[in-house]
């Protein structure tokens, strides 16, 4: 069967990831790790499919390549995307959890010290309980977040994907903004943004382009409602192209007609907050210090007028629907005193809303470096 391989990462990159993960496993005294989330399975094996709902399990030991268990209907996607030689397959009639436990035995890992990615939505409560029952008496521990921590620091190959995703995101946002006019429908803007990013090379996205018009821009996480833009409306756009599953989101806002002074003040505050982070963030600086810089310079003076989430940045990288946040949820918040590291990447989501009236948002995706940070969504 001659199925061409899709463009992926180098063998050296795959081995780098495994080596970093195995170092974390050794520090936690684990002989093997069971991984279920689509993003982490992709990170370790290259396997990629729009099907992130059926059970999948990658098992990583300290020697050899990972083992991968998949629904047999996904064989074609495995052959097209994964760098592994072959998967273990289960059918619709099989119990996939039983198959995963059987695979542990085939690999000689029963009775060993196991780490299990318990927090994965792809595992689910029922399958997790069944796995616990079938591994009763075994030595295992919750390994949630282990792969996610390794993923936080990006390699040069990953950063290159995010740079391209950032370029595509910027193109999509600019195309949508250029089309804003009185009488244009919100779904037209979303369509223009989506088409631009797709035609320029984006893979399927974690979230379709978000467009919120008028009072809906003042309602968090609202999107297209098939309504025309009216004069005076705020038009909020948020989107993120994907390149080899890596995303770099942006937010932009405009107004049809002159922007009222109160909205201009909020836009200036959002832009000042982004700039404060760009000027403060660098390797070794605590996330809380970066958040405080944005809060004190930009948010504190307007916070009595707005609805705000107080999340000054969150880590991004690999994304699968329905969201683009990295699962570890590393946030730039006032109470997160963890130092930033060179190679981390963050989306800075500054949406300042007057509830039910209007919203103003701007954002960039940044890369932390030893000397500061690079903006991945500006060319």
**Cα 85–chain centre separation:** 27
Cβ(105)–Cβ(32) below 8 Å: no
What the block records as the tokens of 193 is: 């943004």
| One domain, residues 208 and 136 | no
Which residue, 151, 171, 194, sits at the end of a domain?
Answer: 151
Q: Does 298 map to a domain?
A: yes
Q: What is the average pLDDT score of the chain?
A: 95
| One domain, residues 171 and 254 | yes
Q: Residue 140 above 90 pLDDT?
A: no
**Domain hosting residue 196, numbered range:** 156-375
Q: Does 116 map to a domain?
A: yes
In this prediction, residue 137 carries a pLDDT of 81
| One domain, residues 252 and 170 | yes
User: What CA–CA distance (Å, rounded) separates 214 from 223?
Assistant: 11
| One domain, residues 42 and 185 | no
Confidence bin at 327 (pLDDT 50/70/90): confident
User: What CA–CA distance (Å, rounded) separates 237 from 210?
Assistant: 6
User: What total number of domains does the chain contain?
Assistant: 2
| One domain, residues 95 and 213 | no
Burial (CB count within 10 angstroms: exposed 0-12, middle 13-18, buried 19+), residue 166 = buried
In this prediction, residue 139 carries a pLDDT of 85
Percentage with pLDDT > 90 across the chain: 92
For 339, phi and psi rounded to 5 degrees?
Answer: -70, 145
Which residue, 120, 151, 182, sits at the end of a domain?
Answer: 151
Q: Residue 379 above 80 pLDDT?
A: no
Confidence bin at 1 (pLDDT 50/70/90): low
Any idea what the Cα angle at residue 240 is, between residues 235 and 244, rounded to 5°?
165
Looking at residue 62, which CATH number applies to its domain? 3.40.350.10
Q: Does 165 map to a domain?
A: yes
Q: Does 317 map to a domain?
A: yes
| One domain, residues 121 and 183 | no
Minimal CA–CA distance to 231: which of 208, 212, 254, 255? 255
Q: Residue 230 above 80 pLDDT?
A: yes
Q: Does 206 map to a domain?
A: yes
In this prediction, residue 136 carries a pLDDT of 85
| One domain, residues 260 and 125 | no
Per-residue pLDDT, averaged over 312-330, amounts to: 93
pTM here? 0.94
HEC string for the chain: CCCCCCCCCCHHHHHHHHHHHHHHHHHCCCCEEEECCHHHHHHHHCCCCCCCCCCCEEEEECCCCCEEEEEHHHHHHHHHHCCCCCCEEECCCCCHHHHHHHHHHHCCCCCCEEEECCCCCCCCHHHHHHHHHHCCCCEEEECCCHHHHHHCCCCHHHHHHHHHHHHHHHHHHHHHHHHCCCCCEHHHHHHHHHHHHHHHCCCCCCCCCEEEEHHHHHCCCCCCCCCECCCCCEEEEEECCEECCEECCEEEEEECCCCCHHHHHHHHHHHHHHHHHHHHCCCCCEHHHHHHHHHHHHHHHHHHHCECCCCCCEEEEEEECCEEECCCCCECCCCCCCECCCCCEEECCEEEEECCCEEEEEECEEEECCCCEEECCCC
| One domain, residues 282 and 315 | yes
User: What CA–CA distance (Å, rounded) separates 358 from 58?
Assistant: 45
Instruction: Tell me the per-residue pLDDT of 297-320, one tens digit each, with 9 for 90 and over.
Output: 999 999 999 999 999 999 999 999
Which residue, 104, 131, 151, sits at the end of a domain?
Answer: 151
Q: Residue 176 above 90 pLDDT?
A: yes
Cβ(293)–Cβ(330) below 8 Å: no
| One domain, residues 320 and 353 | yes
Looking at residue 175, which CATH number applies to its domain? 3.90.230.10
Per-residue pLDDT, averaged over 69-79, amounts to: 96
Q: Does 2 map to a domain?
A: no
Instruction: Tell me the per-residue pLDDT of 75-103, one tens digit each, with 9 for 90 and over.
Output: 999 999 999 999 999 999 999 999 999 99
Confidence bin at 362 (pLDDT 50/70/90): very high
Q: Residue 276 above 90 pLDDT?
A: yes
| One domain, residues 118 and 21 | yes
Q: Does 4 map to a domain?
A: no
| One domain, residues 180 and 303 | yes
Instruction: Tell me the per-residue pLDDT of 14-36, one tens digit each, with 9 for 90 and over.
Output: 999 999 999 999 999 999 999 99
| One domain, residues 185 and 289 | yes
């Amino acid at each position: 069967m001659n199925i061409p391989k899709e463009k992926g990462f180098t063998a050296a990159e795959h081995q780098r990831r495994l080596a970093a993960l195995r170092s974390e496993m050794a520090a936690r005294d684990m002989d093997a790790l069971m991984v279920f989330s689509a993003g982490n399975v992709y990170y370790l094996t290259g396997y990629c499919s729009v099907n992130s709902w059926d059970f999948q399990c990658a098992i990583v030991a300290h020697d050899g390549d990972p083992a991968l268990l998949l629904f047999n209907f996904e064989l074609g996607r495995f052959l097209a995307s994964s760098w592994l030689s072959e998967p273990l397959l289960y059918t619709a009639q099989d119990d996939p959890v039983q198959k995963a436990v059987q695979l542990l035995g085939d690999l000689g890992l029963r009775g060993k010290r196991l780490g299990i990615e318990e927090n994965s939505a792809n595992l689910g409560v029922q399958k997790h309980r069944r796995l616990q029952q079938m591994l009763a008496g075994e030595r295992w521990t919750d390994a949630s977040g282990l792969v996610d921590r390794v993923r936080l620091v990006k390699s040069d190959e990953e950063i290159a994907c995010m740079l391209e995703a950032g370029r595509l995101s910027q193109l999509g946002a600019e195309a949508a903004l250029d089309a804003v006019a009185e009488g244009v429908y919100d779904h037209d803007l979303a369509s223009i943004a989506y088409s631009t990013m797709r035609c320029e090379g984006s893979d399927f996205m974690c979230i379709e382009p978000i467009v919120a018009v008028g009072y809906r821009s003042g309602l968090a996480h609202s999107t297209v409602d098939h309504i025309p833009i009216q004069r005076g409306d705020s038009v909020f756009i948020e989107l993120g192209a994907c390149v080899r599953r890596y995303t770099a989101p942006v937010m932009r806002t405009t107004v049809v007609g002159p922007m009222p002074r109160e909205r201009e003040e909020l836009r200036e505050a959002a832009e000042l907050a982004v700039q404060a982070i760009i000027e403060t963030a660098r390797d070794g600086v605590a996330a809380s210090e970066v958040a405080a810089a944005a809060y004190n310079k930009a948010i504190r003076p307007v916070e009595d007028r707005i609805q705000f989430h107080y999340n000054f940045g969150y880590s991004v990288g690999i994304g699968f629907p329905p969201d683009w946040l990295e699962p570890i949820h590393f946030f730039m918040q006032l109470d997160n005193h963890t130092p930033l590291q060179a190679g981390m990447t963050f989306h800075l989501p500054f949406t300042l809303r007057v509830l039910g009236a209007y919203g103003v948002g701007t954002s960039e995706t940044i890369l932390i470096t030893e000397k500061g940070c690079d903006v991945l969504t500006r060319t």
